Structure 1
Amino acid sequence: MGFRWYGEGNDTVTLDHIRQIPGVETVVWSLHHKQAGEVWEQAEIDAEMARITGLSDEARARGVTRTLDADVVESVNVHESIKLGRTVLGRSRDEAIENYVTTIRRLGRAGVKVVCYNFMPVFDWLRTDLWHPLPDGSTALYFERAVVDRMTPEGLIADMEAGAHGLTLPGWEPERLAGFAELNAAYVGVTHEDMYANYRYFLDVVVPACEEAGVKLGVHPDDPPFDVFGWPRVVSTPDDLQRVLDLHPSPNHGLTLCLGSFSANPAQAPLAADTVRRFAERIHFTHVRNIKHLGDGDFTEVGHRACEGDVDTVGIMKAYAEAGYTGYVRPDHGRHLWDENTTNKPRPGYGLYDRALGVQYLLGVWDAFHHSPPSRTS
């Protein structure tokens, strides 16, 4: 069980908080100051891993002995030149891939086991309201399809920046968005087939390096799982997942199966547990969260409990238990609870309390299935 953390001074949640969540073993981390296409230095990697896995003198003086590991990195972002297959934002595809390979090798040397990434063009995840009120008084991430349909990308960028509480949002970094005009123009005429071809080129170079480094690569589904602003997304449907896996046969090339992102298409929500069963051998990391569909393509994020929304989180954990899953899991976006969004003002979707509750719920469901005796037939 993992818990995502954005780093010292870049997160309202602390390592002390995470250590106190029963069942959490892995901190899911990244070097969030590094931009897509940059090399991660070995000293930076080692220092961050030491911070996560170690204990300060102050903590030891308080009697703290529990430690965490740092097995999972989310994310090492893929430069847009790789997705486009040509030089953009001042960096060539081959240079960006070479830097990616160097980073993977250094992460493997440091002991990282899984690297999450995505292949979404321009933006990563997309929401239209970061603090949408729910009936219980909490707030959550929210997507309204009509808003996206009538909004320009520039307007959406401004809204996301305004709602971020001054914290950086992965996929919406100022450095990335500074080149938006160039990227928007570069994607004109780019097709889904172009994206798959460029994706294969990337994997053909990076996956052998992953095998050598002992690192498993897991692609995150598109969020939401359909094209936006005319840009082609290629990791949206079950067939897309299969096609992506077929691009390279190595077991080191697999999925970060985010069931919330996958289920944001209402037609796919009922398929979540079956999708776990279908791809279990190639799932290296998974995010489990819940959303509620509101019609017309709109959805809101809700608590992790299955009955709160339209994602069968119980069925998902049962499918993992039946598959003998031994990979990594974390709760995903949580609601903002108990005045959290007016006191310590967390990063949208990444407060402490609801994700900690999600850990307990998911582990409770897992234990119920994982420790149950096998069924008997007469």
Structure 2
Amino acid sequence: MRQTWRWFGPKDLCSIDDITQVGAEGVVSALHHVPNGVVWTPEEIAKRHSEIATRKDGTASGLTWDVVESLPVSEDIKKQKNDWRGHIENYKVSMQNLAASGVEVICYNFMPVLDWTRTDLRWNVPNGGSCMRFDINDFAAFDIHILERDGAGADYTNAIADEAGRRAAALDEAGKKQLARNVTMGLPGSTESMTLDDVRAHLAEYAGISRERLQANFVDFLEAVVPMAEDLGLRLCCHPDDPPFSLLGLPRVMSTEADYSYIMDAVESPANGMTLCSGSLGARPDNDLPGMMERLGDKVHFLHLRNVKRDNSEVVGSFFEAEHLGGDTDMVALIAAVVREEARRKAAGRKDHSIPMRPDHGQDILDDLGRRSQPGYPTIGRMKGLAELRGVMKALEYQQATS
């Protein structure tokens, strides 16, 4: 596996100098300042390449921009409204510009409205650190009593709805605002959250769009961009829903192995693949991560390795971001499946036999606690995770080489 590190650009508290010191081989980044649906120009792409390649003192970092995460799919494309066809054409131009710059892997998602959702961005863990948490009861309190979405109560069990009422009643105005801000944090790379009116407006736009309709819109998007991606030598890889179940009454179409199989079968191409995020998919107890890697590994173009600990075995439930080797996913078994897939690719002569991975998320520990970094992206917590994952990788690769 090629060890990479996510970087949000020059404003990221984790600098390029830091990334070289943690031992990453490449960088995962995006042009977060470019609005969704707008072309990524050669000039802006070249600037990001230069920023990644250069340390603060002007010397070469030795790092390269290996993966784009994300080239966003606009809400208009997902809903097929307004100038969605124009946005697809812009997406294709951006792909051409990225390919010309040397980038080969593009991660994206097809989640409606919110790219990820948590109810607590700095939840305390027993060792004194903190992490992100999704609590279904707190989320229901937001949905039913703060957002006041029509019919929200019917989307939860009676037990969750009752507990949500108790929690909402216990919140003062500051607590309600903080919960709303956490839930509506918005896109990764941004520190801004949407207002409640913004969320309501987005939900209204999705009225009448069923899961089947959103899935069909996704296939239309792929049919438009995948042929060009294949011609350009690009590998597109969709990130799973986070969390992998319906929220706010919105449809979700990339939450399970069956979802991925459907989409990759609908538009068959080596360019149409998946980002296997063990944290997002691992929030569902019915997702078998090592098995998914075995069965779908041929189309896995990018890996997010992180772990979550679920509160219970319910599909729609609470969880928190655990240590990389400490959650409900058997990370050793998953990495073993990746090592086997890479060996198969190498034997077949595939250029992409080394799959890019990054230590996804991490707990805030030590100096992270005072930095207030991008939620989920502490420097030391991720470095600890990478060290643990690297140890597992090395051991399994050695075992394979000597067996």
TM-score normalised according to structure 1 size: 0.89
1:299 corresponds to 2:319:
yes
Residue of structure 1 equivalent to 2:20: 19
Q: Which of 240, 251, 267 matches 1:248?
A: 267
How many Å separate the matches in 2 of 1:202 and 1:149? Answer: 32
**SS of residue in 2 equivalent to 1:337:** coil
1:353 corresponds to 2:348:
no
How many Å separate the matches in 2 of 1:209 and 1:173? Answer: 34
Residues 274-285 of structure 1 mapped to structure 2, 5 A cutoff: 274-285=291-302
Residue of structure 2 equivalent to 1:331: 359
How many Å separate the matches in 1 of 2:113 and 2:366? Answer: 34
The Cα offsets for residues 5-56 of structure 1, whole Å up to 9 and x where unpaired, read as: 00102x110000000112x111100011112111111100101111112345
Residue of structure 2 equivalent to 1:86: 81
Task: Return closer, same or farther for 1:228/1:321 CA change in 2, 3 Å cut-off.
Answer: same
- The one-letter amino acid of 2:221's match is F
Task: Return closer, same or farther for 1:255/1:158 CA change in 2, 3 Å cut-off.
Answer: farther
1:145 Cα shift? 0.7
- The one-letter amino acid of 2:136's match is R
Over the residues paired in the alignment, what is the CA RMSD in angstroms?
2.4
How many Å separate the matches in 2 of 1:287 and 1:113? Answer: 17
1:67 corresponds to 2:62:
yes
Task: Return closer, same or farther for 1:171/1:94 CA change in 2, 3 Å cut-off.
Answer: farther
Q: Which of 330, 334, 351 matches 1:312?
A: 330
The Cα offsets for residues 200-251 of structure 1, whole Å up to 9 and x where unpaired, read as: 1111111122122221100000000000011000000110110111121110
Task: Return closer, same or farther for 1:163/1:128 CA change in 2, 3 Å cut-off.
Answer: closer
- The one-letter amino acid of 1:326's match is S
How many Å separate the matches in 1 of 2:121 and 2:269? Answer: 38
How many Å separate the matches in 1 of 2:189 and 2:322? Answer: 21
- The one-letter amino acid of 1:360's match is A
How many Å separate the matches in 2 of 1:110 and 1:153? Answer: 47
Q: Which of 2, 5, 8 matches 1:3?
A: 5
How many Å separate the matches in 1 of 2:226 and 2:177? Answer: 36
Task: Return closer, same or farther for 1:119/1:140 CA change in 2, 3 Å cut-off.
Answer: same
Q: Do the aligned partners of 2:16 and 2:54 also contact (CA within 8 Å) in 1?
A: no
- The one-letter amino acid of 1:6's match is F
Q: Do the aligned partners of 1:119 and 1:235 also contact (CA within 8 Å) in 2?
A: yes
Q: Which of 87, 104, 120 matches 1:96?
A: 87
- The one-letter amino acid of 1:39's match is V
Where do 5+ consecutive residues of structure 2 fail to align? 148-175, 343-352
Q: How many residues align?
A: 359
Q: Do the aligned partners of 1:292 and 1:301 also contact (CA within 8 Å) in 2?
A: yes
Q: Do the aligned partners of 1:116 and 1:219 also contact (CA within 8 Å) in 2?
A: yes
How many Å separate the matches in 1 of 2:241 and 2:119? Answer: 16
TM-score normalised according to structure 2 size: 0.83
1:182 Cα shift? 3.0
Residues 1-378 of structure 1 mapped to structure 2, 5 A cutoff: 1-9=3-11, 11-22=12-23, 24-55=24-55, 58-60=57-59, 66-87=61-82, 92-152=83-143, 155=146, 159=178, 162=181, 169-170=188-189, 179-268=198-287, 271-295=288-312, 297-305=317-325, 308-324=326-342, 326-341=354-369, 343-373=370-400
Q: After the TM superposition, which of the residue ranges 313-322 and 291-300 deviates more from structure 2?
A: 291-300
1:162 Cα shift? 4.7
1:85 Cα shift? 1.6
1:363 Cα shift? 1.4
How many Å separate the matches in 2 of 1:161 and 1:45? Answer: 34
How many Å separate the matches in 1 of 2:296 and 2:210? Answer: 26
How many Å separate the matches in 2 of 1:72 and 1:27? Answer: 7
Task: Return closer, same or farther for 1:291/1:298 CA change in 2, 3 Å cut-off.
Answer: same
How many Å separate the matches in 1 of 2:323 and 2:100? Answer: 37
Task: Return closer, same or farther for 1:15/1:155 CA change in 2, 3 Å cut-off.
Answer: farther
1:141 Cα shift? 0.4
Q: Do the aligned partners of 2:107 and 2:238 also contact (CA within 8 Å) in 1?
A: yes
1:152 Cα shift? 2.7
Q: Do the aligned partners of 1:123 and 1:172 also contact (CA within 8 Å) in 2?
A: no
